[in-house]
Amino acid sequence: MSEDSHPGLSRGLTNYGDSDFARYLRLANARSMGYSTSMLRKPVVGIASTYSEFNNCHRSVPDLVKAVKRGVLAAGGLPLEFPTISLGEPYLNPTALFFRNLMAMDTEEMVRGQPMDVVVLIGGCDKTVPAQLMGALSAGLPAIQLVTGPQSTNRWRGERLGACTDCRRFWGRFRAGELNQAGIDEVEGQLVATAGTCAVMGTASTMASLSEALGMMLPGTATIPAVHADRLRAAEATGAAAMNLLRAGIRIGDVITEKSIENAIRVLLAIGGSTNAIIHLTAIAGRAGIKVSLDRMNELSDTTPVLVDLKPTGPFYMEDLHEAGGIGAVLRELKPLLHLDCMTVTGETLGQRLAAEAQYVDRNVVRALDAPLQPVGGLVALFGSLAPRGAILKRAAADPALFEKEARAIVFTSLEDLAARIDDPDLDVEPDDFLVLQNAGPLSPTAMPEAGYLPIPQKLARAGVKDMVRISDARMSGTAYGTIVLHVTPDAASGGPLAFVRTGDRIRISVADRRIDLLVDEAELAQRRQTTKLAASVPSRGYARLFHREILLADEGCDFRSLTAHPTRD
């Protein structure tokens, strides 16, 4: 490849009405950065940097950028770093999902608007990786993903700790009175010991794993711990791979296809991954004009066993998965179920990638296809009168004893109502009841937070109750566990059936039949529709107003309707 075979800094010239002047002015300004003439003629590799002091998961991004630049320079390119929005999950109000589409817009427009031939996307924390893939897919250039990697675990009084499943476990013990204030304060100081994303199979680790399954990441790099030297070597290799990607003429749309999305769903089901991932995959697919059907997800789930035994469902952490063989080991086990003709960022098909000799696999962490942890996938979609367009249950993290059940609903009308009453000793609630949260979906004022993990009422927790059926239009952190029905669609704020549930109603759930039904007659529901005021309200200005006007519901990935491959009007 000659240095002049790609536009580089001549790409997308600023419009002054004179392209020669625009090129001259751009190069004059570029020279002020100290670049030589020969460097300014090279292909440009943009590096999307998401470093932020409001995002501890991305603490290592500056070092990753330096390593990527080494790889690009060695391969004959000009690396140019640029910043985008960074989404640190625990720092954002009302929720990081609210800002995911804003970050996707930022990424898309900076990739599209600045002169680069290929882009390296550096992300990590939950919503950053899907936002980057969504934006890059819409921009359409060659692209490759690099993640920050998972945190390493720590120890407290002989117990192994890793955010954030363990933070929920210890918080549950604190609420149940098993741990005092001094103890929970000590745990707080030990939970997050290193840079990187949550050490368990939460949303960040799930999306890193799925990026590798999609073919968007160098093989073996999804699970490398954030603080390991191999993470920097992976970054350098990613910079070189970006140049090879450019030479091969492989664009992101050649990698993210209907088949590779289906491969990613298979991996999601096999690793017991986060429920958030189905929303993100749906949104990513929507940028390519691909529809992710929850019915199809159920078909895949029924034929995809759970192979990975990580927290929140098992005893292991991401660093264990890395040592056990990583996502490559999972892909090799799933090989008979995958589309092997999918292109990857290495220029190989998935089949060619997996044809390499298998490495060591720890079968305690990654089970064989014929000896799985569970015979069916980790997620299942439920439909019925309560969720006409679907709801999600992470059955890999749930109690099978609660899968076929009819019970009384105990309803909380908002997050504020939940906070005010859940620990009231006079709350009329029994262990067999279903806890129901309304108005926490995409169109609610709280914009679908990770609030679906409703706490066990304190009086029940102190009596030893560990799990209950919980139902909402909210999301759940990938680090959480329990028999929790999420993403009920349509959500309550948009007038879905969930809005009209009342305490004392009967609800029936059947995982076997893929059903969730509200057992209230139509005449009563019709009356409730006439008298119930919906919680949705139109914000007065800014991004919140745009979000409310544009947001699609959970079954369409919560993307903005104008950003999908085929924009629709409400």
Statement to judge: residues 236 and 338 lie in one domain: yes
Does residue 455 sit in the same domain as residue 490? yes
Indicate whether 555 belongs to any domain: no
Q: Read off the pLDDT of residues 269-327 as tens digits, 9 standing for 90 and up.
A: 999 999 999 999 999 999 999 999 999 999 999 999 999 989 988 899 999 999 999 99
**Helix and strand counts by DSSP (H, E) for the chain:** 20, 14
Strand residues in 178-235 grouped as ranges (E): none
What does the pLDDT average to over 512-538?
94
Per residue in 531-562, pLDDT tens? 999 987 788 899 999 999 999 999 999 999 99
* Residue 550 covered by a domain: no
Run of H or E residues at 547: helix 542-550
Q: 275 and 385 in one domain?
A: no
Helix (H, G, I), strand (E, B) or coil at 103: helix
Can you give the CATH number for the domain in which 59 is found? 3.40.50.2300
Question: Worst-scoring range by mean pLDDT, 3-12, 81-90, 185-194, 472-481?
Answer: 3-12
pLDDT exceeding 70 applies to what percent of the chain?
Answer: 99
Q: How confident is the model at residue 3 (pLDDT cuts 50, 70, 90)?
A: very low
Is 424 found in the same domain as 502? yes
pLDDT at residue 358, as a whole number: 75
Q: Does residue 497 share a domain with residue 396?
A: yes
Q: What gap in Å lies between CA 402 and CA 406, rounded to an integer?
A: 9
Q: 156 CB contacts (<8 Å, ≥6 apart)? A: 186, 187, 190
Q: Is 479 within 8 Å of 172 (Cβ atoms)?
A: no
Distance CA(80)–CA(127), nearest Å, equals 24
pTM of the model: 0.96
Higher local confidence (pLDDT), 164 or 502: 502
Q: What is the pLDDT at residue 416? A: 96
| pLDDT of 75 strictly over 80 | yes
Give the model's pLDDT for residue 363: 96
Domain that holds residue 457: 379-537
Specify whether the CB–CB gap between 140 and 170 falls below 8 A.
Answer: no
CB 137 within 8 A of CB 260: no
| Dihedral sign for Cα atoms in the order 467, 468, 471, 472 | negative
Query: Are 213 and 268 in the same domain?
Result: yes
Average pLDDT over residues 149-162: 91
Instruction: Find the helix or strand (DSSP H, E) in which 392 lies.
Output: strand 391-394
Burial class (CB in 10 A: 0-12, 13-18, 19+), 249: exposed
- Mark whether 273 and 419 lie in a shared domain: no
> What is the amino acid identity at position 311?
K
Residues 421 and 450 in one domain: yes
**Tokens coding 521:** 């007659």
Same domain? For 2 and 105 the reply is: no
Handedness of CA 184, 185, 191, 196 (dihedral sign): positive
Mean pLDDT for the chain overall: 95
Give me the pLDDT at residue 5, please. 61
Residues 162 and 146 in one domain: no
Banded pLDDT at 162 (limits 50, 70, 90): confident
What's the full length of the chain, in residues?
A: 570
For residues 201, 206, 212, 216, the Cα torsion angle rounded to the nearest 10 degrees is -150
**Residue 366 included in any domain:** no
DSSP 43: P
Alpha-helical regions (H) of 226-380: 229-248, 252-255, 258-270, 276-287, 294-302, 318-324, 326-334, 350-354
Domain termination site, one of 188, 211, 241: 188
Q: Is 360 domain-assigned?
A: no
274 and 329 co-located in one domain: yes
pLDDT of residue 4: 47
| Cβ neighbourhood burial of 541 (10 Å; 0-12, 13-18, 19+) | exposed
Exposure string of 287-305, with b = 16+ CB inside 10 Å and e = fewer, is: bbebebebeebbebbeebb
Confidence (pLDDT) at 168 = 85
Which pLDDT does position 569 carry in this prediction? 64
State the total domains in the chain. Answer: 4
| CATH number of 423's domain | 3.50.30.80
Query: Residue 130: its pLDDT value, please?
Result: 98
Cis peptide before 164 (omega within 30 of 0): yes
Residue 562 belongs to some domain of the structure: no
546 within some domain: no
Q: Contact 271/209 with Cβ under 8 angstroms?
A: yes
61, 145: one domain: yes
Half-sphere exposure of 285 (CA within 13 A, CB side): 24
Q: Is residue 368 part of a domain?
A: no
Q: Has residue 373 been placed in a domain?
A: no
Residues 410-467 have pLDDT tens digits of 999 999 999 999 999 999 999 999 999 999 999 999 999 999 999 999 999 999 999 9
The reported pLDDT for the residue numbered 1 is: 39
Beta bridge partners of 83: 49
